Copies of this chain bind each other. A is one copy, B any other.
Amino acid sequence: MTGRDGGADISPIGNAPVVVLVRPQLADNIGGVARAMANGGLFNLRLVAPRDGWPQEKAWRNASGADRILDAATVHASVADAVADLHRVFATCPRPRHIIKPLLTARGAAAELRDLEARGLDSGLLFGPERAGLDNDDMAHADSLIRYPLNPAFMSLNLAQAVMVMAYEWWISADTTPPRTLMTNETHVATKGELENFLTHLVTELDACGFLRNLPKRPGMVRNIRHLFERGEVTEQELRTLHGMVTELARGRGR
């Protein structure tokens, strides 16, 4: 089950937090957790007393290539053992309990985790078993609690999805925002001058065919047509298409 070579290239970045699954029940979920960890750049997985033992073939089958995370996962008898070498522990906790500890959102926790990383400290995230969640003894090992802001009318959160939300917040807290517009190298945004050429072409043909024959309304109509085409970037290729469309549509009137 371990030592596979087929896994995806997963490149660890910095000393990301350790994910600690406490008494996980389903191997499927452990695989889903590994996949979600890979999505969000978390690479260290620890299992505390997995119900069905470890390793479990099903976990690898459900990890979609995040094999290295499962290969490197370690098994621990207790939460205390699993967090022994860490500097700070956060426990995910859907329900309020009779304890008093700092309570963070996922986003707030991500900011603290980044802060710890920057200071070279090791942190861990505890996730409880599928149905019961972490118990009071488990949470006693945590410095802070994390509660996700989610629909209070439907709190049943799948284990892999709980990890997904935290892994996602971890990744985006690194602040690598992609550019706002998707564009490939082959795409060239038209200049305003090129767009103007098209609008001139279009209006000329609209005059010729009589669409703009109502002279009092003509300026407003032309302005509205401009509004329509000035709404975001148009590519050069698209402008060529538009020119061609107008030309062909206008053909046959003997012009």
Q: How many Å lie between the Cα of A36 and that of B148 in the bound state?
A: 13
Q: Is the CB of A8 within 8 A of B156?
A: yes
Q: Which residues of the other chain, B, contact A177 by a CB distance below 8 angstroms?
A: 105, 149
State in angstroms the CA–CA spacing of A150 and B169 once bound together.
9
Say if the beta carbon of A35 comes within 8 Å of chain B.
yes
Using known A-B contacts A96-B184, A187-B100, determine if residue A156 contacts B224 with beta carbons closer than 8 Å.
no
- List the number of copies, as a whole number: 2
1/0 per residue, CB under 8 A from B, across A106-120: the answer is 111000000000000
Instruction: Write the A203-226 contact mask toward B (1 if CB under 8 angstroms, else 0).
Output: 001100111000000000100110
CA distance A172 to B165 in the complex (A): 12
Contact B150 A39 (CB under 8 A): yes
Report A203-255 residues with CB < 8 Å from chain B CB: 205-206, 209-211, 221, 224-225, 227-228, 231-235, 237-238, 241-242, 244-246, 248-254
CB of A21 within 8 Å of the partner chain = no
**Of all chain B residues, which has the CB nearest A93?**
B182
A22 at interface, CB cutoff 8 A: no
- A248 and B211 contact, CB distance less than 8 A: yes
